[in-house]
Chains A and B, each alone.
Chain A
Amino acid sequence: MSSSKCFVTSTFDRPLELDSNRLEYRLKVMLLTIDVTSENAPQLSFLLHKHPDRVQSFELSFGTAHVFYPVVEPQRCVACLLLDVDPVGMVRGKSRDSSFLLGQYVNDRPFTASSFMSVAISQVFGSALAGKCRDYPEMVEESFQLTATLDTLAVRGDISMVPRIFEPLGYSVTAEGRLLDSEFPEWGQSPYYRIVLRGKTTIAELLSHLYVLIPVFDNVKHYFVGPDEIEKLLAKGAGWLENHPEKIEITRRYLRHRSVLVRDALARLSDEEVRSDLDTDSDTLETESLETVSDTESNTISRTAIHNETPSHGDFSAKIECEEGEVAEIATVRSLNQQRYDAVIDAVRQSGAESVLDLGCGEGKLLKQLLEEKQLNRIVGMDVSIRSLEIASRRLRLERLTERQRSRIELLHGSLIYRDKRLNGFDAATVVEVIEHLDQDRLGALERVVFEFARPKNIIVTTPNQEYNSVWESLPSGQFRHADHRFEWTRSQFRDWAESVSDRYGYKVRLETVGPIDAERGSPTQMGVFEIA
């Protein structure tokens, strides 16, 4: 393993088939080394409240933390905080529910180095973190020239995040990566880095930086994130976080993208108006039970299968998606999404439909907008993912609708490749960014289910225009926009399909564009509006 000063930029992988958040495994040993060079370096031991000649061990809920000093010299002192996590004990612990136990095998529920290390810092170095020192209170304020080494820090996402986050705090930073397996270099880099921070700062500051930032890189916590996390963040971030250029990113990741918490925290971090883009897509994660759903689900076959990506209307470029499956908010992309909804709703409106089916409704974003359409007296959303439907149900606030409103809308769990009599008798159906999530050889079943059996008067189908992909620089050529896309069609492929389907099932079709039009490559989204002939 070669140490290098430059940042090892992780190769751009195809988005994983598995949900990366679930793929953490047990990290059993984690080492934090603090190396102080100073005239009175040995004082480090007083600041840390740990005797230099002893090895001290602390029992924590997840294992043991040890503190010892490899180097104690007049000019230099090195302290190590070594975590020894007990994976078997964690699995068998009485407090864990069975699904947590199940998580231990392949598709682990995350429990990573990082948040454990934060907990250890706060419990083992509590006084130092709080900036207290019994013996030498004056030293608390003293800045040392120090080096902190985090061995095997999990960095999820772009490695450039490391300097973006540490450098504004006055550190110089190196990150050293490592292959997953030297025998199989084609497997690529591991997501683990040895991070070395160098800088001049107080011990309390260093510890508070580490306390907050370690889980930020890892982007995962081993415990449930509730409102009290805001207090921890604000307390430990006092004095540096409010002015940090990446404070939004830090806050968001620290609070596990729970937008309600993030908004609240950011509001308290600054008097400024919270940027409005925070209010967007990630409000799906608003409700607590949702997180519980995703964290404790115990389905074994198919962590991989089921919780891959949920097909939804909001898929963007792969680059954005593959970063922790987090929902990106890029203005242009988002507006494409909205443009798509606008176009679809327009087509529904023009058709004069009074009842509409949203097939593959995902998390209900289109449904929510369809509800605004006064002429619709029956709106039914169907999706194959029960989890998406739960999110949709919350998004639409079904529980809180008046009886009259409630009677207009219904959510169904169902599949587009099984004939379903519940889909009969609608004026219109929307199939928005859905067909590309089916293997092409199964598309025939969808065609029959929708065009032959359900047979609404109007069917509106949208799908990506593959030709347009090259407009997006962030999307490597040849790659699909979404990990779960099975195909993306060119305009002529879509036209051929649309015409052949119309032919076979007695519809006539009008093709439209959605989004900005490139002279050569067309629009990003293509739309077919089918009407019974």
Chain B
Amino acid sequence: MRIQVPELSLVVLIGPSGSGKSSFARRHFRSTEVLSSDYCRGLVSDDENDQSATPDAFEVLHFLASKRLSRGRLTVVDATNVQPESRKPLVQLARAHHCLPIAIVLDLPESICQQRNQNRADRNFGPHVVRQQRSQMRRSLRELRREGFRDVFVLSSEDLVDGATVERVPLWCNKKSEHGPFDFIGDVHGCCDELESLLLQLGYTIQPTPGSGGSVLLAPTVFAHPAGRKAVFVGDLVDRGPRVVDTLRLVATMVAHGSALCLPGNHDMKLLRKLSGSDVKIAHGLAETLSEIDALDGGIKDAFCRELCQFLDAMVSHYVLDDGRIVVAHAGLKEEFHGRGSAAVRAFALFGETTGETDEFGLPVRCNWAADYRGNAHVVYGHTPVPDAEWLNRTINIDTGCVFGGRLTALRFPEREIVSVPAKQTYCEPSRPFLRVHSPGLTAQHQLDDVLDLDDVSGKRIISTHLSRNITIREENGIAALEVMSRFAVNPKWLVYLPPTMSPCETSNEPGLLEHPAEGFAYFREEGVKQVVCQKKHMGSRGVIVVCRDPESASKRFGVTSGVLGMIYTRTGRRFFQDWQLETELLKQIRDTLTEVGFWEEFNTDWVCLDCEIMPWSAKAQELLRTQYAAVGAVGEWSLHRAIDSIDQAIERLGGRDGAAVLASMRDRFAYRAKTVRDYVDAYRHYCWRIDTIANYKIAPFHVLATEGCVYTDRDHRWHMETIARVCQHHTQLLVATPYRLVDTDDATSVAQGIQWWETLTAAGGEGMVIKPMEWIVRNKNGIVQPAVKCRGKEYLRIIYGPDYDAPENLSRLRNRGLGRKRSLAIREFALGLEGLERFVRAEPLRKVHECVFGVLALESEPVDPRL
């Protein structure tokens, strides 16, 4: 016997003890698919035959089955299941997970069961048990379908059992092997004129068919796409419009010839019920359909209806297409219903989810399932007319109300392009005006994104990035990030990117130095990177600048309607400038400069995200400087001089006595320290200047991170430097082009020149330089190579490690620093930061972008030596 089971089903084995259920299950199913009551009894009681453990065992079994089904895994229940009350919860379980219960009954003669049990030492119950079970089972046989089992297979002999094969069949909705490309078409409602012109506009051509095979429904010609694209109709072909029959013929012919798929709409199904003889209320345009059918030539009318019924009846509630990447259903489908089959799924797919209330127009109030949608699959649907087809959480409603005088819309996928044909006229007045604009300027997604959901950031999270492997955000780090994000961060709509931390180069052994470029070059050479770019490290504060062409672009792309041009924020997502006027003025100047150089046109964008250093350091780090750096300098200089004065006095007093020599060496040490404190003060003063006016600020962009449609990780760093330099030269008072050098890591002369450049930079009080591989992303066998390493100057490091860090006794101890954690962190943050930006550029819902940004912030709370 060929036993066909749907690929997702709950298979219930039925048979008395000894009927061979477990052997059958072993032979036909994976061991993980089989949940046996014996095994569960053992799990809870250490004894598979302890009947007192049965209730607990079944609780466990049902729990496991429920988990498996919710994950979409076929599950087999290996228990006697001979009583209706033991099968009932299983049928309920299958229903609850919208999958099909299948019964396989092992109806073997009692003697075989008894004999098998006698051969087993652990089955020491009397023969009456099997007898009773068997009679219960036989009584059940006729009831199984009524109990809700979709299919019942009865194997009534050992031969049948041995000869049985189990075959898994895809669900009707499973069209994962259809890879498109697709043209999804919204509710047609008999607007065949518009449909024809839409298909032509989409590139479909009218082709003759090999023949209609005597069909009265199918047309002699068919719309097909020369490139093999497939049209997918989201349903509601009928009612209200002027050419219902033509529409049905056109679509049915396309489906028959493989150039289209068609989903059922609620109107289509109502028509089917009417044609099948049900008593349905003739309303909402059904009358027009029926009169068109009535007007058909009497000779073909019956055949037409018959074929039409077959066509409609064959339709499946929803399709899962393209390896699960797309789900299409007339009224949409929430994630837990994807790829499932049940009355509830079908009802959702046809009608959507309603609250049970009606609105002021008498129409059902719909639950906004799309707003809560979190699935990965894109969901395309229609059913409720909307003014514009727009994406919301990877769902899109493409019913733009053609029959109500709107448009007939197609979504080209994967191109995500919207193609529309306006209605030639208003064929029907909508009961609720759908063309009214909901909220000025903001898309549904932007409105929804006004408030993010805690569930999208809290707890342990695993974020998959395209650059690196999955990145785990631990719960405790997320907790820290939630506080920072909530209390200090700017509006998340602006936070499309947070920059990664950067590791220093390996520790140098050069005398007097902790860092030296030779190690940086060596690192990249060893990673096989031939060409690197060395960029001067500006000593300011990191700033990410998002700037738009105008406030309208800010509203359109970022969903921020406050009239601002953009945002400047720090590496922890805080507003960079507390002075809003200053921020506005800076953004305006940057915008004007970009406009002046024709940036918007060149990059075909209305916005740009720039990675920058903003100077002076003292602008942002004022408090830190006052309370930390300057205080160290002040107290250091002061106390050292006092100490030296006192020592000098003592030396003078002691003259040539022993103590004087000890004091003299002590004096030298303190004098040396006093010098290092002065050097330290000089070092930080380099990065401080007064900011009386806006003209005192300097901004040095060093990455053009993204513009509309592009993340510029595919351009090398020279491109970034050159592109930015072109912009900067138009506003040199504010914008600083970063000096850089290219170094060939294999070429000793080139490396020497790179080192020399660093020496020159740092001798002049510079912070140092950053060495990056020429390409943004370089892979090695472990993943990706550090996107940059910094190499800081000797004097600058006084600010980090303390004034006299370079005294030999200190340096030798400081050299013993580990970079592993810092580097791992840098890679993870890099991957996560770019992932967020890419998601933003792909116009994903804000929560998807925010998840990455939040992740970077969370990772920043991992403990790493902050001096690195």
Contacts and interface: CB of A to CB of B under 8 A. Distances in A.
Interface of A: 1, 16-18, 20, 23, 25-31, 33, 53-55, 57, 66, 68-72, 78, 80, 82, 87-89, 92, 98-99, 101-102, 104-106, 108, 151-152, 178-181, 183-184, 186-188, 190-192, 194, 298-302, 304-306, 308, 311, 384-386, 413-422, 437-439, 441-442, 444-445, 448-449, 453, 484
Contacts of A69: 650, 653
Given A68-B663, A415-B486, A418-B452, A300 B631 contact: no
Interface string B663-699: 1001000100100000001000100101000000000
Given A1-B638, A54-B658, A418-B451, A106 B628 contact: yes
A209 B574 CA distance: 46
A25 B863 contact: no
B2 interface: no
Nearest to B456: A418
3 shortest interchain CB distances as A-B pairs: A70-B649, A415-B486, A180-B630
The B interface, classified by DSSP as helix, strand, loop or mixed, is helix
A441 B487 contact: no
B601 interface: no
A89 B807 CA distance: 13
Interface in B262-296: none
A23 B627 contact: yes
A54 B626 CA distance: 40
Interface string B797-823: 000101001000110011010000000
Contacts of A299: 480, 861, 863
A86 B125 CA distance: 81
Contacts of B159: none
Contact of A104 (B451, B572, B670, B867): B867
Given A18-B623, A55-B663, A419 B453 contact: yes
11 contacts: A28-B673, A66-B666, A88-B805, A92-B816, A98-B863, A106-B624, A190-B634, A300-B861, A306-B483, A386-B479, A418-B486
B645 to A, nearest CB: 8
Nearest to B864: A300
Given A17-B623, A187-B625, A413-B479, A102 B638 contact: no
B482 interface: yes
Contacts of A1: 638
B488 A305 contact: yes
B251 to A, nearest CB: 41
A117 to B, nearest CB: 12
Nearest to B658: A54
A301 B572 contact: yes
B662 interface: yes
Given A71-B653, A448-B450, 12 more contacts: A68-B650, A102-B864, A152-B638, A152-B642, A180-B633, A190-B635, A301-B572, A301-B861, A418-B482, A419-B451, A422-B454, A441-B562
A252 to B, nearest CB: 23
Given A29-B640, A87-B802, A191 B631 contact: yes
Interface string B591-624: 0000000000000000000000000001000111
Contact of A306 (B455, B484, B574): B484
Given A55-B666, A448-B451, A442 B639 contact: no
Contacts of B809: 88
Interface of B: 450-455, 457-458, 479-480, 482-488, 491, 562, 572, 574-575, 618, 622-628, 630-636, 638-640, 642-643, 646-647, 649-650, 653-654, 657-659, 662-663, 666, 670, 673, 681, 685, 688, 690, 800, 802, 805, 809-810, 813-814, 816, 857, 860-861, 863-867
A68 B647 contact: yes
A98 B654 CA distance: 45
A196 to B, nearest CB: 12
B451 A449 contact: yes
B569 to A, nearest CB: 12
A157 to B, nearest CB: 15
Contacts of A101: 865
A470 to B, nearest CB: 24
A445 B450 contact: yes
B635 A27 contact: yes
Contacts of B634: 178-181, 190, 192
A532 to B, nearest CB: 18
A101 B636 CA distance: 21
A450 to B, nearest CB: 11
A481 to B, nearest CB: 17
B623 A31 contact: no
A234 to B, nearest CB: 31
A179 B625 CA distance: 13
Contacts of B685: 181, 183
Contact of A29 (B574, B670, B866): B670
A54 B659 contact: yes
Nearest to B665: A55
Nearest to A14: B623
B487 A152 contact: no
A484 B487 CA distance: 9
A54 B666 CA distance: 13
Contact of B659 (A53, A99, A106, A187): A53
Contact of B491 (A25, A442, A453): A442
A453 B451 contact: yes
Contacts of B863: 98-99, 102, 298-300
A414 B487 CA distance: 12
A413 B630 contact: no
A191 B866 CA distance: 25
Most chain-B CB neighbours within 10 Å: which of A66, A102, A190? A190
B813 A88 contact: yes
A189 to B, nearest CB: 9
A89 B630 CA distance: 23
Contacts of A420: 453-454
A29 B630 contact: no
A418 B478 CA distance: 14
B813 A92 contact: yes
Nearest to B805: A88
Contact of A415 (B482, B572, B575): B482
Contact of A419 (B454, B624, B632, B865): B454
B572 A187 contact: no
Contacts of B623: 16-18
Given A53-B654, A80-B646, A306-B480, A301 B857 contact: yes
B677 to A, nearest CB: 9
A308 B666 CA distance: 41
A196 B225 CA distance: 95
Most chain-A CB neighbours within 10 Å: which of B450, B618, B630? B630
Most chain-B CB neighbours within 10 Å: which of A16, A101, A104, A300? A300
A300 B866 contact: yes
A30 B486 contact: no
Contact of A302 (B631, B662, B861): B861
B188 to A, nearest CB: 37
Given A82-B646, A98-B863, A102-B865, A68 B659 contact: yes
Given A55-B663, A420-B454, A184 B639 contact: no
A420 B485 CA distance: 15
A437 B483 CA distance: 12
A101 B801 CA distance: 12
B685 to A, nearest CB: 6
A188 B622 CA distance: 12
Contacts of B640: 28-29
A425 B300 CA distance: 60
Given A104-B867, A415-B454, A418-B452, A305 B487 contact: yes
Given A192-B635, A414-B454, A20 B572 contact: no
Contacts of B813: 88-89, 92
B655 to A, nearest CB: 10
Contacts of B454: 414-415, 418-422
A180 B483 contact: no
Nearest to B677: A28
